[in-house]
């Protein structure tokens, strides 16, 4: 039996299987993490278990001695701001998190951090957008707990020092169906969401 291969096509990983008519050929798609794997194949099951756990719980983070906390959240969690001059360890964690987000959201590798500011808005009229949201992700285990809202609130309150921007000054990029729902409910105005295109 030939083991399944993982092939990279345009930055997206796709698992392929060769079917030679074997009796036990089956590929299962996990309903929670959406990974396809071959049950009974030890390597596949280990890979699935690790990926499944990561999807549910996200990236493990112990914290840093020097953190820039922009918001304390229920349960003792917090939202941190990492800036350009912060230590390399902070940026390694940021890259680890964005890599995981890109995999979960189906983005090409390094897409989230590939385009630094400035950000250009595309609109038929001039609009104010003080902050562009390139990507937002919450683990499935923590979905529907207000975490995305807390992240957006923290961005509005800390993006421009001394200024708490109105919700309408946030602009979003590459919205999925869930992202469109979040942007609509967050802004409070369905169908009127600022979309930006990074240039």
Q: What is the pLDDT of residues 146-156, one digit of tens each?
A: 999 999 999 88
What per-residue confidence (pLDDT) applies to 153? 92
Instruction: Give the Cα separation of 155 and 151 in Å (integer).
Output: 6
pLDDT at 62: 82
Beta bridge partners of 106: none
Q: Give the per-residue pLDDT at 194.
A: 62
User: 21-59: b or e for each residue (b if 16 or more CB lie within 10 Å)?
Assistant: eeeeeeeeeeeebebebbeebeebeeebeebbebbeebe
Quote the pLDDT of residue 2: 46
Asked if residues 33 and 51 have their Cβ atoms less than 8 Å apart, the reply is yes
- Rounded to the nearest integer, the mean pLDDT of the chain is 76
- List the chain domain ranges: 5-57, 69-197
For residue 29, give the H/E element and its range. Answer: strand 28-29
* Distance in angstroms (rounded) separating the CA atoms of residues 90 and 18: 42
Which residues in the chain show pLDDT less than 50? 1-3, 6-9, 117-125, 199
> What is the predicted pLDDT for the residue at 149?
92
């Amino acid at each position: 039996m030939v083991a399944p291969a993982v092939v990279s096509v345009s930055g997206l990983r796709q698992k392929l299987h060769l079917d030679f008519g074997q009796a036990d050929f089956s590929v299962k798609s996990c309903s929670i993490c959406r990974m396809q794997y071959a049950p009974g194949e030890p390597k596949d099951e280990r890979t699935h278990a690790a990926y499944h756990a990561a999807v549910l719980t996200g990236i493990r983070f112990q914290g840093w001695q020097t953190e820039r906390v922009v918001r304390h959240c229920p349960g003792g969690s917090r939202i941190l701001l990492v800036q350009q001059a912060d230590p390399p360890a902070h940026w390694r964690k940021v890259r680890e998190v964005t890599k995981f987000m890109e995999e979960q959201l189906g983005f090409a590798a390094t897409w989230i951090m590939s385009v630094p500011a400035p950000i250009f808005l595309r609109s038929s009229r001039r609009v104010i957008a003080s902050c562009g949201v390139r990507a937002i992700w919450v683990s499935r285990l923590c979905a529907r707990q207000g975490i995305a809202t807390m992240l957006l609130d923290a961005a509005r309150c800390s993006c421009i020092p001394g200024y708490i921007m109105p919700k309408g000054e946030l602009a979003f990029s590459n919205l999925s169906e869930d992202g469109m729902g979040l942007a609509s409910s967050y802004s409070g105005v369905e169908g009127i969401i600022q979309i930006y295109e990074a240039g």
